[in-house]
C-alpha cells in the first residue's frame, strides 16, 4: 500500500481537531436553543449591571485579540520588530478567559436568539468562536499539520471575536453609550 503524500497526511491530522471543534459549535448552539433562558444576572463590582460588564469585558478581549495578531505577525517576521512569543501566548489566554463569564451569561441567561439579524449573527459567531478556538488548541501540539493551520485557525478565531464585538459592544456603545 503506497504511503499518503506528506501534504494529505498533514491534513488528515487536522480531522480530529476539526471534528471536535465542529461538535463544540453544534453543542453550544443546541444548548443555546434547547435550554430555557434563565434571564439571571450577576452583579459585578464596578459595573452598574451585567450588560455593561459584558460589554467592557468583550472590549478587553477585543483589544487583547489585536495584541495577539500583532505579536503573531512579529513572530512570523512580518513586522520588523521582535515581540516576545510570551506576549502572544498570554494575550490569547487572557482574551479567551475574559470571554468566559460573558458567554456563560449569554448562553445561560439569554440563549441563542434569532429574532433580530444582529443577535442571530452574534449568537452564531459566539458558538463558532469556541469551536474554532477548540480546533486551534487541539491542532497546536501536532507536529505534522499543514503550515497554514495556525494562521488560518487563529485568523478565524480573531475574525469571529471582531464580529462578536461589533454585534454586541460596538452596538451597545453606539445605541446606548459608554456606560459602565
| Closest distance of CB 147 from ligand HEM, Å | 28
State yes or no: residue 58 binds ligand HEM (CB under 6 A): yes
Grid coordinates representing 49 are 449591571
Compute the residue count for the chain.
Answer: 180
| Closest distance of CB 85 from ligand HEM, Å | 24
Taking the least distance from each CB to ligand HEM, the nearer of 112 and 156 is 112
Q: Which of residues 109-148 bind ligand HEM (CB under 6 A)?
A: 110, 112-113, 119, 122-123, 126-127, 129
Return the H-helix or E-strand segment holding 133: helix 117-139
How many residues line the site for ligand HEM (CB under 6 A)? Answer: 26
Grid coordinates representing 64 are 487583547
State yes or no: residue 106 binds ligand HEM (CB under 6 A): yes
Contact between 107 and 134 under an 8 Å Cβ cutoff? The reply is no
| Closest distance of CB 79 from ligand HEM, Å | 26
Taking the least distance from each CB to ligand HEM, the nearer of 145 and 169 is 169
What are the start-end ranges of the H helices in the chain?
6-12, 15-34, 50-75, 85-105, 117-139, 149-165, 171-175
Contact between 132 and 98 under an 8 Å Cβ cutoff? The reply is no
With contacts defined by CB under 6 A, name the span among 49-57, 85-93, 132-140, 145-153 that binds ligand HEM.
49-57
Indicate the DSSP class of residue 35.
S
Q: Which of residues 76-105 bind ligand HEM (CB under 6 A)?
A: 99, 102-103
SS3 155: helix
SS3 14: coil
* Of the candidate residues 96, 153, 158, 172, the single one contacting ligand HEM (CB under 6 A): 172
Contact between 147 and 65 under an 8 Å Cβ cutoff? The reply is no
The footprint of ligand HEM (CB under 6 A) covers 28, 32, 51, 54-55, 58, 61, 99, 102-103, 106-107, 110, 112-113, 119, 122-123, 126-127, 129, 164, 168-169, 171-172
Amino acid at each position: 500500500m503506497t504511503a499518503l503524500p506528506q501534504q494529505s497526511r498533514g491534513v488528515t491530522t487536522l480531522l480530529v481537531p476539526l471534528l471536535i471543534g465542529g461538535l463544540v459549535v453544534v453543542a453550544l448552539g443546541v444548548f443555546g436553543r434547547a435550554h430555557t433562558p434563565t434571564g439571571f444576572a450577576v452583579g459585578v463590582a464596578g459595573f452598574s449591571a451585567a450588560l455593561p460588564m459584558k460589554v467592557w469585558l468583550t472590549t478587553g478581549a477585543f483589544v487583547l485579540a489585536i495584541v495577539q495578531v500583532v505579536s503573531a505577525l512579529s513572530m512570523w517576521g512580518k513586522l520588523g520588530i521582535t515581540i516576545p512569543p510570551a506576549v502572544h501566548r498570554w494575550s490569547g489566554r487572557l482574551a479567551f478567559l475574559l470571554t468566559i463569564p460573558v458567554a456563560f451569561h449569554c448562553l445561560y441567561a439569554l440563549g441563542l436568539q434569532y429574532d433580530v439579524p444582529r443577535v442571530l449573527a452574534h449568537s452564531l459567531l459566539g458558538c463558532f468562536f469556541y469551536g474554532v478556538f477548540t480546533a486551534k488548541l487541539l491542532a497546536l501540539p501536532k507536529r505534522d499539520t499543514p503550515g497554514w493551520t495556525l494562521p488560518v485557525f487563529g485568523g478565524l478565531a480573531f475574525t469571529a471575536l471582531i464580529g462578536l464585538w461589533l454585534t454586541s459592544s460596538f452596538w451597545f456603545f453606539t445605541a446606548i453609550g459608554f456606560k459602565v
